[in-house]
Amino acid sequence: MTMFDQADALLLARIQFAFTISFHFIFPAFSIGLASFLAVLEGLWLKTGKALYLDLFKYWLKIFAITFAMGVVSGIVMSYQFGTNWSVFSDKAGPVIGPLMAYEVLTAFFLEAGFLGVMLFGMNKVGPRLHFMATLMVAAGTFVSAFWILSVNSWMQTPVGHILGANGQFLPGESWWDIVFNPSFPYRLVHTVTAAYLTTAFVVGAVGAWHLLKDRANLHARKMFSMAMWMAALVAPVQIFLGDMHGLNTLEHQPAKVMAMEGHFQSHPEGAPLILFGIPDSEAKTVRYAIEIPKASSLILKHDLNAPMAGLDTIPDDEEPPVGTVFWAFRIMVGIGFGMLGIGLWSLVARWRGRLYDWGWLHRAAIAMGPSGFVAVIAGWITTEVGRQPWVIYGLLRTADAASPLDAPAVGASLLAFVVVYFAVFGVGTWYILRLMKKAPEAGEKGVARTETGPVRTAGITPGLAREQLREGDAQ
Amino acid sequence: MIDLTIIWAFIIAFAVFAYVVMDGFDLGIGILFPTFAVGPERDKAMNSIAPVWDGNETWLVLGGGGLLAAFPLAYAIILPATYPLIIAMLLGLVFRGVAFEFRWRDPAHRAFWDFAFTAGSLIAAMAQGMTLGALLQGIEVAGRAYAGSWWDWLTPYTLLTGLGTVAGYALLGSTWLVWKLDGEAQAHARKLAFRAAIATLALLGAVSLYTPFLEAEYFARWFTMPSILFASQVPLLTAIAVYFLFRGLAKGQDAVPFLMSLAIFLLGMAGLGVSMWPHVIPGSVTIWDAAAPYSSQMFMLVGVAITLPLILGYTAWSYWVFRGKVGDEGYH
């Protein structure tokens, strides 16, 4: 094998991981929030007895079922990706990250999967209270899953608590708690989970807004839009604050990442400017056409206008992350964050004026922002994952030294297969979800019907197909 | 002091066994799906596993994740060695998994998703069986990495183990349906179970005769004293299970054929243990070579001790909730 081949195989393996993880994360980003939303809806139904909440629960449960299935099948791919394409990493880091991932399976995946069947299909078999417990378990499972896998990711970003073994393996040190609660973990956890809640809120809000534009008297659409806008108004500012905390933590532990985010090629001994926009040029080590606010970066990151800030000129060239990608991904994430805040504030004004349900432009804006959470989440991950390059275990193991001994054609062929299958299968799945969202939520919403056999029954248990077609006919 | 490495070898073996039998009957139903009539028969066959397939599949993640955690070196060698098989299995499971939801959401393309359900199940089953074969025939290792080429996994032997697994899963799937269905669909499942049982036995027999000749070591374990005394129990017990399987099918019993199929798989697993122990990669890597350090093993063992009884408990509850014959109304 030539050097050229190996470089190709590495690049293809990196593209494959980036592709499969990005696609995968779209689904948990939605299902973490949606599971909690469903638990809230069912809880409100049990508390108030209002059928409206049960209708909304059933409406979103159908969407959850599809989302969850896609999350599961794309997630299993991830649990094998470490071994197929990153076997050196698996061998070296297995003793530290393996147990955390095993805990994810034991405490989260089984919990979700074990109660999912009852959540989707068991309402009539176990009764409302046990069913509510199943919903809570699924929601808890999604959160616990995020806990463990983000602990793994955070350890790779800010590795502590390990020792280096004679065989080249990373081995657990004295305390597992040092490893689990590594320095970046708490910040990454709350920032990511909050992002999932916001992402879901904007999807729910967009669906509500869509149906309000068609029929502003639809009580179901009103309720979901109102709930989503409360989330936007209350959680978006919290998320901006959490993001800032996370950034400060990154500055402390991974300064090169923040330099790339800020586009600081040069050090600024007397206060660094905040570059709003520009085109980073890694060759020339400068940001072209930069629009900047003098000393504002020092103010944000150090709370002092004149605080000196080191730039990438203090980092060896072969330890610098790719600046352009990180710089832009960061701006996309932050821009969307402030856009979400804007919608949240707008909804407060609308609510105060009593126009929440009939302000067409607010509804259109909410629809436009519907998918924004996904974009922000992916942009955020690109910021943090590209920003920690060239390291896979920060400062200790280079990405280039972690890959499997595979030939480029093998990795290329599997990458192609993943791309084709993912776009086809998850594209179709997304279309099914959009089709479900297109239908207005209504009184007597049906559940996740499983069959179309047998005689036509009363509304609650009427089989799916016939009514679906009827309803589509009504809408046209 | 108790050797945690041995405990972990049994935990991983348990996870693999749990996966093989539980997702085995899911995949088997997928493999046999085209033989069921479009309409109520297919709907019921799928409904019989819709509430539990996801939990069943999770054992695969525990098997893989557990291997990474407890035997990272084995994980790092086996997966690159069987790379195309693993990728094929994962993609097969993608199609199989989404078909559970998609076929209900898109009646106009249901025939396509039914096909995807079958093709995905078939590919996943074949790939899993071939991976086992590739492991048993030996993997070339240099230092701490796989050293063979990326077609080493493709041999007549691995094709045989692949087909054996497909047949075995079909047996699990058909006997599960004998248990869960009634009327004509059940009669059809029983007919399938007969055929699957014969195919499984033929292929299991072929693999069992082939394997001892792959390696002198395997031969010695199966055909020399004193180990033959223990090893010979496996085929003897298998013969008894097979007898009760056919008897149960002939007498029209509901649950016995499925339980006997489980027993046959358990004995197959025991036979595997006879051949492999204490290697995790036969001929080159033992469980002690591949084991994670004591601290990792202990940390996880605490988790397993607490969570595994709970997992088994709520999994059993979920099966209990959906017990009995699959009705016409579907689940809600």
Of A43-57, A106-120, B211-225, B279-293, the one with minimum mean pLDDT is B211-225
Residue A308's φ and ψ, nearest 5 degrees, are -70, 140
The residues with which A404 forms a beta bridge, in sequence order, are none
Q: Is A368 on the interface with B (CB under 8 A)?
A: no
Residues of A in contact with B39 (CB under 8 A): 453
Q: Give the dihedral sign, CA A216/A219/A224/A227.
A: positive
Distance from CA of A42 to the nearest CA of B (A): 15
Please list the pLDDT of chain A residue by residue as tens digits (476 residues). 444 566 788 999 999 999 999 999 999 999 999 999 999 999 999 999 999 999 999 999 999 999 999 999 999 899 889 888 999 999 999 999 999 999 999 999 999 999 999 999 888 889 999 999 999 999 999 999 999 999 999 999 999 999 998 888 999 998 999 999 999 999 999 999 999 999 999 999 999 999 999 999 999 999 999 999 999 999 999 999 999 999 999 999 999 999 999 999 989 988 899 998 889 988 888 888 888 998 889 988 888 888 899 999 899 989 999 999 999 999 999 999 999 999 999 999 999 999 999 999 999 999 999 999 999 999 999 999 999 999 999 999 999 999 988 888 889 999 999 999 999 999 999 999 999 999 999 888 887 765 444 333 333 333 344 334 434 333 33
Closest to A60 measured CA to CA, from A214, A231, A223: A223
Using CB atoms, which residue from B150, B304, B332 is nearest to A448? B332
- Report CA dihedral (A208, A212, A214, A216) to the nearest 10 degrees: 150
d(CA B157, CA B136) in angstroms, rounded, equals 9
User: CA-based Rg of chain B, rounded to a whole angstrom?
Assistant: 20
Predicted confidence at residue A473, as pLDDT, reads 37
Residues of B in contact with A116 (CB under 8 A): 51, 54-55
Q: Is B70 on the interface with A (CB under 8 A)?
A: yes
d(CA B224, CA A273) in angstroms, rounded, equals 80
Q: Is B94 on the interface with A (CB under 8 A)?
A: yes
Q: What is the mean pLDDT of residues B190-206?
A: 94
Do the Cβ atoms of A259 and A369 come closer than 8 Å? no
Q: Is the pLDDT of residue B12 over 70?
A: yes
Q: What count of Cα atoms within 13 Å lies in the side-chain half-sphere of residue A75?
A: 30
Residue A391's φ and ψ, nearest 5 degrees, are -105, 140
d(CA A210, CA A229) in angstroms, rounded, equals 14
Residue B300's φ and ψ, nearest 5 degrees, are -75, -35
According to DSSP, residue A315 is labeled S
Chain mean position to CA A84: 24
According to DSSP, residue A268 is labeled B
Q: Is A128 on the interface with B (CB under 8 A)?
A: no
d(CA A453, CA A463) in angstroms, rounded, equals 7
